[in-house]
Structure 1
Amino acid sequence: MTLLDERIWSLFKRHWRQTLTYWSAFFSFGLCIAFLGPTVLDLRCQTQSTLQQITWVFFSQQFFLVVGSSLGGLFKKTLPSSLLVLFSCTLIISVVFAVIPLCNHVLLLSVAMAIAGFAMGVIDTIANLQLVKLYQKDSAIFLQALHLFIGLGALVSPLVADPFLAEDSCVLSANWTANSSSPSDLQHLRKSLAGHGAAIGNISKYPLHTEGMVVTRVSYAFWVMALINLPVPAAVLALMYHERLLPCSSNSPRLIDGESLSSSSPTGDSGQGHGSWFGLCNPAKLRGRPASFFILHALGGAILFITDGIVGSYAGFVYTYAVYPPLLIGHKTAGYLDSAFWASITVGRLAFIYLSYRFTAPKLLTFSLVGVILVQCLLLIFYTSCVFLFIGTCVLGLCISSVFPSMLAFTEDILDYKGCATTVLVTSASTGEMLLQLIVGSVIHNQGSYTFMLCCTILSFISFCLFLLLLYVRHSHGNGCTDSSPNTEMKERPESGGS
């Protein structure tokens, strides 16, 4: 075993409890983000709302996920407070799962999903922040594993829900035998709604009753998911007990004090690293920062805004693209595309755990972004091939799977773990996933499904150009910091020592 192997293994053994806890929290995140698409028709029946009304539930979840991501940095001043917030958020997700079957109005359901979305956003930011803080220059490997757990949760959630979904109309009106949609129509609706309702105009032609007797078993799916998620807050609670952060363990000295010192930034400025948006905008902390400092934050955020937007748009609309001309793939066959895409993302993140150890983040990002462009171009060229659409979907998932964790580790490394890059990048990625789905969905609705691949290809080229610009700014930023770092440290150390 090489020296680097021993060092990374030693780091993991030192922080394995915290690491496994953050990984499990991301399983909770994935479990919550993937259930809404398959269950939305049953939830429509439960709330006896129209298809247009129920799609506001998607928006409330996504919007408050962005809010939670942006505010998550406020809860990480110390590791004890971050663990308390993480415990609360993971427990909230289980509570929301348990409460959803009791929401008999679309407004109540939207509020429940807004609360879940906020909790998901906070989990997203805190887990990324704390892993970067723990492992710093070695964080890429552990971030890849962290995002693997999103894929695992996203795979489990639809599997749990599927046995409880209605195969026929779940609101029985007086004339349901004549006008109710067939099971194949309902499956088509479920897959079309995966795009968070952005393509609602294309599917509103199907008759769905809002008045009548509700016959759905989807409540059992949410109660099962609530139970599946309960070990996650239990794991956070166990970590808090081990770190002696609970009242029942207050008679012993806290282990966290020593570990927080060892895991702080190299400069000892633990109070200013990885702050929130508000900490970044503090004029006292911004004084003397070079322009490249802000440009690096903006470029990293823009790249993840686009790439996460591509992931959300592709997962949401590849089914719609497949069932319309020129491909005209059958509804049942096209339904496997979304599953294949998420499965390939999960496999890709598993593979990149090893690759992150062998290769640097810039090389992995170059490989990933170039691969995304090539796959998108080939999908445009072979746009009439059903077989290549499946192959390209799998390869695209493999290529794009590592962009977020690699970009996060790379940007924090460039900024020497002093900025709030994690909060900026996580929020940008969440915002991109929400907004680009709406934009791409609007383009598809107005111009036709054939514009889907063109939009994704253009976005891929833009993201790669921004990455090249990031590499150039990184070079300039490195030279500027090298020239000014001795004087800067001489001025900053007395101030930090006196505080």
Structure 2
Amino acid sequence: MFDDRRWGLFKRNLQPTLTLWSAFCSFGLCMAFLGPTLLDLRCQTHSSLQQITWVFFAQNFCVLVGTIIGGAFKKTFSCSLSALFVSTLLISAVFSIIPFCNNVVILAFVLAVAGLAMGCIDTIANLQLVRIYQKDSPIFLQVLHFSVGFGAFLSPMIADPFLSETNCIKNNLTANGTASDLTHIRNSLVPHHMVNETQFDLPTDGLVISQVSYAFWIMALINLPVPVAVLFLMCKQGFGGCCGKKSTPLLPAEELPRDVQMDRLSPGQEKALRAKEPDGLIDCLKGLHLQEAPCTFFVVHVIGAVVLFMTDGILGEYSGFVYTYAVENPLAMEPRVAGYLNSLFWASITLGRLASIPVSGKLKPATMVFINLGGMIGTFVLMLCFPASIICLYVGTGLLGFFLSSTFPSMLAYTEDILNYQGCATTVLVTGAGVGEFALQMLVGSVIQLSETDLFLVCGLTFSCLALLFYLVLLLVHRLHSHLTTTEPTKTGTIEESQFQYQS
């Protein structure tokens, strides 16, 4: 997995790498807490189920906005670290403030702020890790996405002991509330769609009895070392007014990431180089010079984003509706048994990301993406062949999570490799993945109640086939792009090495 060269590179970049991994753990911690705690938050805000599910929308929509905002900090490592520090600190602040939100509108606003922070972390961590390791980034990206899985695994475990086992609003009508009803409701909650929400009659007035506040405060404390680690890295790199004189960089000047090298330039040199760089997402997509960039430069971005739109959309719609599919005919599983499907799905994703770390050192990202997409299609075909088999559904859920697990980091590494790590592909791909998870979940939620019981699996198979189709097109475009860039080399990116020397 790690040869001498990769191990040496890792040791030279140890602190920034560990900091980015820990920031992504914060992202996972914030990503997974809302579903289990939503009913207790409903009691805390005295709101109905229909009202409280809008906080899902507020958070997830702002995650999309945050991914775009995060791309604005891509030019320099110092700006990225500053944004990362603010974002990780905001997550701890949000966890601390949530227990004091007694109104659903205020809660939605606080979670929207958390969504902006999550989106920034998503883009910045992926982008900076790719820029540091470049062609060696696949292994480190796999670890990065394992970190988000670990955070998402940890968050519900912290919350579970503090969740209400009966109705957390007490009055004369809820004295006989049962835990089984709450379990079913929790598993039915989906970020952008509440299945048959009117069938659940939960009170909004009465005495609130909930201990979930302790869970949020524990998560705030657990997350607090992350912004401290980012601040320490900022001081080590010499960024920020609180640190005084710039310290010695973590790496020799010639081995620093290009962003860090540019931070060391004199003002005149830096201004000249900035003028040559894209300033925003649109300019980035057009290439460093519109008249010199081949048309395939734009096409690679679009197709890569579409592939992740499909695959992350599958992740969102499957995790959101597999429980609903399982408790309906023809499977008609018991709610308690069906509730394990989501846990199995996320556990297999985390396990798959862990297994992908050594595999990515042996296989090329392009090969891994192809295997993942083929495995997803085969899994959906298997489940469609045996639609009434509970065992097949459990096996298929585990396999699907395993194949989905490494698709995003492998696709990101492959696309950046095609474009020679020019930087803007990460922003485009992260945004495309977020839109897919948001949009396809809404689409499937709007048709899940139709009479065709296997429509849920048909949607998954359709999205998987479309993802494979677009990926095959991307392979062809890659060959064309390689031909154009070798026969008509551009002058972009040819910056004198002397401009990158550390200014003492």
TM-score (norm 1): 0.93
| 298 and 281 in structure 1: CA distance in 2 versus 1, 3 angstrom threshold | closer
1:230 aligns with 2:232: no
Q: What's 2:265 paired with?
A: none
Partner Cα distance (1:171, 1:12) in 2:
52
Deviates more, 1:455-464 or 1:229-238: 229-238
> Does the CA-based 8 Å contact 1:280-1:420 persist in structure 2?
yes
Q: Give SS of 1:239's match.
A: helix
Q: What's 1:335 paired with?
A: 339
| 257 and 351 in structure 1: CA distance in 2 versus 1, 3 angstrom threshold | closer
1:304 aligns with 2:308: yes
Q: Give SS of 1:99's match.
A: helix
CA-to-aligned-CA distance 1:187-207 (integer Å, 9 cap, x gap): 0000110x2151x24232111
Partner Cα distance (1:11, 1:20) in 2:
13
Task: Measure how far apart 1:278 and its partner are.
Answer: 4.2
Partner Cα distance (2:30, 2:330) in 1:
34
Q: What percent identity do the matched residue pairs reach?
A: 49
Q: What's 1:263 paired with?
A: 257
Partner Cα distance (1:319, 1:68) in 2:
29
Partner Cα distance (1:323, 1:287) in 2:
57
Q: What's 2:215 paired with?
A: 221
Equivalent residue letter for 2:86? S
Partner Cα distance (2:197, 2:253) in 1:
54
Deviates more, 1:118-127 or 1:330-339: 330-339
TM-score (norm 2): 0.92
Query: Where do residues 373-452 of structure 1 align in structure 2 (5 Å cutoff)?
Result: 373-447=377-451, 449-452=453-456
1:196 aligns with 2:191: yes
> Does the CA-based 8 Å contact 1:89-1:122 persist in structure 2?
yes
Q: What's 1:92 paired with?
A: 90
CA-to-aligned-CA distance 1:264-300 (integer Å, 9 cap, x gap): 28x9998577964144257873332222111100000
162, 174, 177: which one pairs with 1:176?
A: 174
Partner Cα distance (2:377, 2:273) in 1:
39
> Does the CA-based 8 Å contact 1:309-1:432 persist in structure 2?
yes
| 33 and 290 in structure 1: CA distance in 2 versus 1, 3 angstrom threshold | same
Higher normalized helix content (fraction of residues): 1
Q: How many residues align?
A: 488
Equivalent residue letter for 1:146? L
462, 466, 471: which one pairs with 1:458?
A: 462
Q: What's 1:323 paired with?
A: 327
Q: Give SS of 1:358's match.
A: coil
Q: What's 1:106 paired with?
A: 104
Q: What's 1:489 paired with?
A: 491
| 137 and 273 in structure 1: CA distance in 2 versus 1, 3 angstrom threshold | farther
Partner Cα distance (1:98, 1:386) in 2:
41
Q: Give SS of 1:174's match.
A: coil
Partner Cα distance (2:494, 2:133) in 1:
24
Partner Cα distance (2:285, 2:377) in 1:
35
Partner Cα distance (1:60, 1:150) in 2:
21
Task: Measure how far apart 1:329 and its partner are.
Answer: 1.1
> Does the CA-based 8 Å contact 2:131-2:423 persist in structure 1?
no
1:125 aligns with 2:127: no
Partner Cα distance (1:168, 1:354) in 2:
45
1:159 aligns with 2:157: yes
CA-to-aligned-CA distance 1:413-440 (integer Å, 9 cap, x gap): 0001125100000011111111111111
Partner Cα distance (2:77, 2:254) in 1:
7
Q: Give SS of 2:205's match.
A: coil
Partner Cα distance (2:434, 2:170) in 1:
38
Residue segments in structure 2 that go unaligned for 5+ positions in a row: 263-271, 500-504
Partner Cα distance (2:36, 2:70) in 1:
28
1:353 aligns with 2:353: no
| 21 and 220 in structure 1: CA distance in 2 versus 1, 3 angstrom threshold | same
Q: Give the superposed CA RMSD.
A: 2.4
| 492 and 264 in structure 1: CA distance in 2 versus 1, 3 angstrom threshold | closer
Partner Cα distance (1:484, 1:219) in 2:
61
Partner Cα distance (1:131, 1:493) in 2:
22
Q: Give SS of 1:285's match.
A: coil
